[in-house]
């Protein structure tokens, strides 16, 4: 009788542990899938990001993109968090993480002249602030051409 109670208790504990692990795995997967592809539109003269556009709303043709956003370069990125869609593109809410891949232009070979730097100095320090269109942001990290910024209030 004691053995049956002991075995039953061990089975209930094991089932609880497996259930918790399954829930943790499910949560971690959903965190990874909550990002949305984004295009950073950068003015070639000022080297400032002027707009954030959802990748699904961005023109797939080079000529159309240049016509819609003259004198601009376009870089791939992601938005992780909440944002609102506007007629100009995407506007992230405060504390939203934005990731820009500085080595991944949307149209390869079109954006940069050979040897040209993307941003003056190409160096970013955590804590630096800058503008992303109408949004203010703070640099979280910059490693391997992956610029991570968090939007401010």
pLDDT in tens, 31-62: 334 889 999 998 888 888 999 999 999 998 88
Distance (Å, whole) CA 98 – CA 103:
15
What's the pLDDT score for residue 12? 62
Residue pair 76/121 in contact by the 8 Å Cβ criterion: no
pLDDT in tens, 85-95: 988 888 999 99
- Residues with Cβ within 8 Å of residue 88, at least 6 apart in sequence: 51, 133
Calculate the CA 24 to chain-centre distance: 23
Please tell me whether residue 6 adopts helix, strand or coil conformation. Answer: helix
pTM for the model stands at 0.70
More confident residue, 17 or 44: 44
Q: Which sequence spans correspond to the domains of the chain?
A: 1-33, 35-151
pLDDT for 144 equals: 83
Let me know: does 140 contact 97? Beta carbons within 8 Å: yes
Residue 79 has pLDDT above 90, yes or no: yes
């Amino acid at each position: 009788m004691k053995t049956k109670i002991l075995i039953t208790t061990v089975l209930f504990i094991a089932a609880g542990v497996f259930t918790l692990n399954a829930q943790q795995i499910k949560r971690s997967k959903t965190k990874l899938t909550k990002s949305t592809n984004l295009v950073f539109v950068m003015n070639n003269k000022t080297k400032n990001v002027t707009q954030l556009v959802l990748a699904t709303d961005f023109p797939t043709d080079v000529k159309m993109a240049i016509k819609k956003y003259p004198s601009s370069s376009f870089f791939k990125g992601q938005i992780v968090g909440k944002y609102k869609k506007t007629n100009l593109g995407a506007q992230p809410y405060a504390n939203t993480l934005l990731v820009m891949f500085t080595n991944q232009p949307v149209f390869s070979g079109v954006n940069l002249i050979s040897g040209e730097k993307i941003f003056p100095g190409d160096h970013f320090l955590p804590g630096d602030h800058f503008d992303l269109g109408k949004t203010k942001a703070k640099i979280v990290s910059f490693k391997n051409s992956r610029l991570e910024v968090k939007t401010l209030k």
